[in-house]
Structure 1
Amino acid sequence: MITDSLTTQNNSPGDTSPLSLRTIISHNTLKSGVQEQACYVLLDISPNRDLPTSRLPLNLCLVLDKSTSMQGLRLQQVKEATHQIIDYLQPNDTFSLVVFSDRAEVLLPGQKNIDKPLAKSVVSTTQPSGGTEMLQGLLAGLKEIQGNRSDDSVNHMILLTDGQTYGDEDDCLAQAEWAGRSQVSISTMGIGADWNEDLLDAMANASGGVSTYIDFPRKIVDAFKATITELSTIVAREIILTVTPSEGLTLQEAFQITPHIRRLDISGSKAILGPLGNTGRKTIVMEFRIKTIPESGVKRLARFTVEGDVPTQAKQQSWAWTEVKATISSDAEVPPSIPPVIITTLGKLAIFKMQEKAMEDLEKGNIIAATSRLETMATRLLNLGETELARAALLEAGRLSRTGNLSAEGKKKIRYGTRSLSILPKEIQHD
């Protein structure tokens, strides 16, 4: 069952929400008298087609690792990528640049309409030195962003590193959580294999940003370009989802599956989903467990409310809601009819969760179980046509069985590769 978007109106006639919601439920009909049943709901969030697409001003800070390990091609490509970011800026954008190693240095304090040739020359003079203390750079970058934010600015940090930060991981995560509460999203980027993907993932998720794995230095420019392009499409600076299950229903788990897969932490029935672009969408899949339903009839299962901070619609409501219902039947022969997009989604999600379980097994020292999961993953990935990722999983399974460890590079390839198994927008629209 596909439910068209429901947009509520405020007190001004004709004003509608800037957000469009659609839901797909796995089961139109549920059986009464069953002790417990599972039901899946796909929620698709996109900007309303009538929403103005004028570009919001950016308040962007780059926080870049310049430690000794960045020397050579890595730092060269970072400089080139930063030059391209500077070229992309418009006069009303605010730009700041922080570099860090053992300490942080603000090379370019935040300002609008920057002198681009001068800014590029400052970037070009950066030299590698020292170790990696990420917290210092993070604090300096957040200070620049906070000091230059405006009512309609998109506040964002690109944080790039190639190494482990030591002793300040908890403080880094706490600052990222604060950033998320303050509508500052953080794109974390790791180059090579020697960085903490758990930390960078957690920081990005906490702030509503995205974590990116860059395996080769020459991909740095593309990663920066993709980020600045996405920032330029943002129409809603923050999307917050509230899930309200009906009595007898429990939300077991939730995942965002577009533009990439990530597990959602729905604390107090709320989840921060980050910014939304005018050509993008966020799709969430949720698993509900339903206790015994004694009576037949139509039952509301859950209500979903989505709030968005949309600066161009300041005088209109910035939220929308929808709900899902199912028919409760006593007919024991009711056949399940699950939409293909739900089946596809759960299949890809199963591979992502298998990767999570394999890493958990490895941490517990259960090498045999972790190896088996990776081998099963490889088979399923081949069935999806994901040959390169399947090969990586199979190679790491062999390495794990021989040595008891995964390579740092292989672990990241599997983690970030399975995250990219998101469903396509057309799969949702045409279901």
Structure 2
Amino acid sequence: MDSTRIFSAGEADRTQWVGADSDPDRTQFAPPAAGADLDATQYAAPPTSSVTLQCLVENAYAPAARNAPAHLLVQVQAPATAYGRRLPLNLCLCIDRSGSMEGEPLDFVKRACAHVVDLLDPNDILSIVTFAEDIEVVMPARRVVNRQLIKEHIQRIDTGNTTNLYDGLLTAGRQIASVQSPAYLNRLLVLTDGEPTTGIRDFQSIVGQVAELKGRGISVTALGFGPDYNEELMAGIARRSGGNYYFIARPELIPEVFRKELESLLTVVAKSLRLQLHLTRWTQVRQVYGLQPSYHPRGVTMDLVDLERGALISALVEVELQRRPAGTYRVAQAQLTYDDLASGRTQQVSADAVVEFVTDESRLLEGINPVVQREVEVARASRHLERTVMGMKTQALSSAAAIAELERTQALLTAQGRLEQAQEVTAAIHSLRRGDSGAEAEKTLMGTILDLEQGQRKA
């Protein structure tokens, strides 16, 4: 049995199973799940979530007689206006105080931390950890009640010598976990200006520890300052934990970046977003763009970043639609589970991807969805940008060749409306044209790649 057909008019109550040789002009549907009660009346539940979900298909039509690739675009949309009270933050500032931070850099960090204190309220939890060759808990996790006392603790931070990033992150995670609760939005902000030089230093161990924090509901935002930090490590920290990544070129920019990150946290409306894409028979996953998926026999699961007010998160998946009898089929269902911060409840929404399989392939030109096609172009631009950065790092590309590649990427991102990322690419081009070593451009572009991978932007 290949599909279910619903007849109209006098036969509206009848469900008939039909075979592949039946009338292809009838509308056909995939059969219900095994064990479902076919006699039960199904009612749609009233909407309970302000977060919306849609699952778009690259083309409304697909060839019935042959296998064909297709892209599915899942979009998660947050409301543009605030509703309810924001969730209190459980925030830890994890600060590098190695010898290279002495002077102006550490002075601006102290100023930035003091500004964070001013933006928080007594319902928020704050802790401060610093790392050099040893780890210091400047302030254990506590409510932001006495702002002046907290600022006095911050002013006493002094520089050390080496950089023990691993143990700094470990201690900061423990501070957050000491008061961890679903009633808080947990975030760790780590700032460093160099490579780890003492303690556990390898990439896999540090990023693995961050992944463990993510499993406990703690995201990590990575802030790299100056020309000497490891941008691949810092971007890896953000990628594995669902946090953000920033490149801070000059010390006077540190307070502004802290402010930007904190203000984004104050607008989060949903956390712990998990997207499951369930595929129906005759549909298979070919690849997932950007995100880090886990595959299962009938689909794929992806963890998404926290959703900010007025933001749109996109997840792009390429599938193969296998040949089948002509008709209309559901090829996939997207299901999103998340914690709604206004209601304090776990919510779930779903959306179907439906395609009509046709024998007349001339109809394929009629069904193209430009929204999905734009996202496909952006995903390809992101991968092209990765290759360009790798060519710069390995010196396989000259400065002139890198500029030419970046100009193509910049034009594509501009054409697809990704103006913020296009501006970052433009900044990297200007850096290369000034004759810089390329380190600043690479650090800027690493953030651009991560932004495109995570798929969140203002709608």
TM-score by length of 1: 0.84
- Confirm whether residue 297 of structure 1 aligns to residue 327 of structure 2: yes
1:381 corresponds to which residue?
410
Summarize the alignment of residues 296-335 of structure 1 with structure 2, pairs less than 5 Å apart.
296-314=326-344, 318-335=347-364
Taking the aligned partners of 2:249 and 2:434, their CA distance within structure 1 comes to 21
Taking the aligned partners of 1:387 and 1:327, their CA distance within structure 2 comes to 40
After superposition, the Cα gap between the structure-2 partners of 1:368 and 1:227, relative to the gap in structure 1 and judged at 3 Å, is closer
**Deviation (angstroms), 1:124:** 1.3
**Deviation (angstroms), 1:126:** 1.5
> Is the CA contact (8 Å cut-off) linking 2:225 and 2:247 kept in structure 1?
yes
2:428 corresponds to which residue?
392
- Confirm whether residue 266 of structure 1 aligns to residue 293 of structure 2: yes
After superposition, the Cα gap between the structure-2 partners of 1:290 and 1:193, relative to the gap in structure 1 and judged at 3 Å, is farther
Taking the aligned partners of 2:247 and 2:269, their CA distance within structure 1 comes to 26
- Confirm whether residue 357 of structure 1 aligns to residue 387 of structure 2: yes
**Deviation (angstroms), 1:192:** 1.5
Structure 1 letter corresponding to 2:375: T
Query: Deviations along 1:128-181, whole A, 9 cap, x unmatched?
Result: 221111011101101100001233111111111111114243322122111111
**Deviation (angstroms), 1:391:** 6.8
**Deviation (angstroms), 1:14:** 4.5
Structure 2 letter corresponding to 1:241: L
3-state DSSP of counterpart to 1:136 = helix
Which of 404, 408, 411 is matched with 2:439 structurally?
A: 408
Taking the aligned partners of 1:333 and 1:13, their CA distance within structure 2 comes to 39
3-state DSSP of counterpart to 2:174 = helix
2:375 corresponds to which residue?
345
Summarize the alignment of residues 187-198 of structure 1 with structure 2, pairs less than 5 Å apart.
187-198=221-232
Which of 33, 37, 43 is matched with 2:65 structurally?
A: 33
3-state DSSP of counterpart to 1:367 = coil
**Deviation (angstroms), 1:182:** 0.7
- Confirm whether residue 134 of structure 1 aligns to residue 165 of structure 2: yes
Taking the aligned partners of 1:181 and 1:90, their CA distance within structure 2 comes to 27
**Deviation (angstroms), 1:390:** 4.3
**Deviation (angstroms), 1:99:** 0.5
**Deviation (angstroms), 1:78:** 0.9
2:207 corresponds to which residue?
173
Taking the aligned partners of 1:247 and 1:378, their CA distance within structure 2 comes to 43
Taking the aligned partners of 1:146 and 1:81, their CA distance within structure 2 comes to 24
Q: CA RMSD in A?
A: 3.1
1:117 corresponds to which residue?
148
> Is the CA contact (8 Å cut-off) linking 1:393 and 1:414 kept in structure 2?
no
After superposition, the Cα gap between the structure-2 partners of 1:51 and 1:121, relative to the gap in structure 1 and judged at 3 Å, is closer
Which of 281, 285, 298 is matched with 1:247 structurally?
A: 281
After the TM superposition, which of the residue ranges 103-112 and 352-361 deviates more from structure 2?
Answer: 352-361
2:98 corresponds to which residue?
67
3-state DSSP of counterpart to 2:311 = coil
Query: Deviations along 1:269-296, whole A, 9 cap, x unmatched?
Result: 22111322233332222222333x1311
After superposition, the Cα gap between the structure-2 partners of 1:273 and 1:387, relative to the gap in structure 1 and judged at 3 Å, is closer
Taking the aligned partners of 2:244 and 2:457, their CA distance within structure 1 comes to 18
> Is the CA contact (8 Å cut-off) linking 1:19 and 1:308 kept in structure 2?
no
After superposition, the Cα gap between the structure-2 partners of 1:13 and 1:332, relative to the gap in structure 1 and judged at 3 Å, is closer
1:99 corresponds to which residue?
130
Which of 89, 112, 120 is matched with 2:120 structurally?
A: 89
- Confirm whether residue 281 of structure 1 aligns to residue 312 of structure 2: yes
Gap runs ≥5 in structure 2? 1-42, 416-421
Structure 2 letter corresponding to 1:392: A
Which of 151, 161, 168 is matched with 2:192 structurally?
A: 161
After superposition, the Cα gap between the structure-2 partners of 1:390 and 1:298, relative to the gap in structure 1 and judged at 3 Å, is same
2:174 corresponds to which residue?
143
Taking the aligned partners of 2:438 and 2:321, their CA distance within structure 1 comes to 42
3-state DSSP of counterpart to 1:281 = strand
> Is the CA contact (8 Å cut-off) linking 2:339 and 2:346 kept in structure 1?
no
- Confirm whether residue 367 of structure 1 aligns to residue 403 of structure 2: no
TM-score by length of 2: 0.79
Gap runs ≥5 in structure 1? 1-10, 256-262, 401-405, 427-431
**Deviation (angstroms), 1:413:** 2.3
After superposition, the Cα gap between the structure-2 partners of 1:111 and 1:395, relative to the gap in structure 1 and judged at 3 Å, is closer
After superposition, the Cα gap between the structure-2 partners of 1:398 and 1:225, relative to the gap in structure 1 and judged at 3 Å, is closer
1:24 corresponds to which residue?
56
Structure 1 letter corresponding to 2:205: D
1:46 corresponds to which residue?
77
After the TM superposition, which of the residue ranges 226-235 and 76-85 deviates more from structure 2?
Answer: 226-235
3-state DSSP of counterpart to 1:318 = strand
Identity of aligned residues (%): 22
3-state DSSP of counterpart to 2:186 = strand
> Is the CA contact (8 Å cut-off) linking 2:313 and 2:457 kept in structure 1?
no
> Is the CA contact (8 Å cut-off) linking 1:354 and 1:373 kept in structure 2?
no
After superposition, the Cα gap between the structure-2 partners of 1:387 and 1:51, relative to the gap in structure 1 and judged at 3 Å, is closer
Structure 2 letter corresponding to 1:344: R
After superposition, the Cα gap between the structure-2 partners of 1:366 and 1:94, relative to the gap in structure 1 and judged at 3 Å, is closer
**Deviation (angstroms), 1:234:** 2.1
**Deviation (angstroms), 1:341:** 2.6
